[in-house]
Each structure stands twice: as structure tokens, then as C-alpha cells.
Amino acid sequence: MKERFGEDGRLIIPLNKRKRSKSKKNENKIRYVINEAYCPKGCNIMDSDHPVNGYPGLKIRFRRPDHEGIFIISAIEGDFDKIVLSGKLQMGVKDDLYCPYCDTLFERLTSCNCQPDADMVVVGLIPKLDFNNAITFCNVTGCGNGAFVKSGDILRHIRLQSL
């Protein structure tokens, strides 16, 4: 017989026996659009000169050994369409991501599970970087991992992604 409580006294609930919330299904139908985004030093990185799928995008500088450039990524949640302004992105390749204005490296939140050296980077939704008001996405071209971070929800997201 399986144990009902762990060594720390917490109730063990097998994930495959949990009831799925109906609201989760509805959550997947809603897509948010970012209207403000900032680098760690507070530069506004929204770019209305190069809309992606009808909305201003996020302007980001990328670098890897002996190559760099700038791209605009969609501001629509779950949409990873990009416009490359300079340089060349390569599928499955990790790039370091920087502010295109002050050249500050975007901060790493955690590792991404798509490949061993991948990182989830953080872009603030307010000028002063706050991990509770941000978006996060992988710095490997072609990876679809990304999320909005609101009031600590990222902890839940990270836990679920790493299962």
C-alpha cells in the first residue's frame, strides 16, 4: 500500500489522480497582448515601427560567439513570431539576449528544459524589474516555452514545466 503522507507530514496526491480544472481549458483560449516591456535598467523595448501580427513587438538584441543582431518578437502571448532586423537567428541555437538601447543582458530566471544550456530570460512589464510583473521566454530560437508572470504565478509555471 502506498504511503498517504510524506516524511515531512504533507499529504501525497498523485498527479494522475487529480481532477483537472475546467477553468484551465478556458485559460488556454485567452491570449494577452503586452503593451509595455522594459529591460532590467528600465529602457522601454516596445517597437511600434515594426509590428508583428498587428501589434507593436519587443525589440531585442541577440549575441552568440562571432554573430549578433536585432529582432522584434511578437507581443502576443504564446506567439513567437519574429521579424529579424539584422543578423541571423538559427533554430535550436541559444543566444544571449540584451537591451537594444543600453546593451544590458536580460536576467535569467531559471533553466529551460528544451536543452541543457537554455535559460528562461525575464522582461519586465514595469520599468523597475519585478519578477512578479514580467514575462519570461527561452533564449533558444524555436523553443516555445514562455509565460506571463503575475503575482508569483511563475513558481507554479516552473514547477509544472519541470515535471
So where are the chain's domains?
Answer: 33-161
- The reply to whether the predicted model has a pTM over 0.75 is no
DSSP per-residue string spanning 39-72 = -TT--B-EEEEEEETTEEEEEEEEEETTEEEEEE
Residues of the chain with pLDDT > 70, as a percent, come to: 71
Strand, helix or coil for residue 125: coil
- CB-count exposure of residue 154 (10 Å: 0-12, 13-18, 19+): buried
Overall average pLDDT of the 30-46 stretch: 89
Higher pLDDT, 131 or 9: 131
pLDDT at 23 over 50: no
- Position 78 scores a pLDDT of 78
Higher pLDDT, 78 or 64: 64
Give the model's confidence band at 80: pLDDT under 50 very low, under 70 low, under 90 confident, else very high. Answer: confident
Reported as a single tens digit per residue, the pLDDT across 81-133 is: 899 999 999 999 999 999 999 999 999 988 998 999 999 999 999 999 888 88
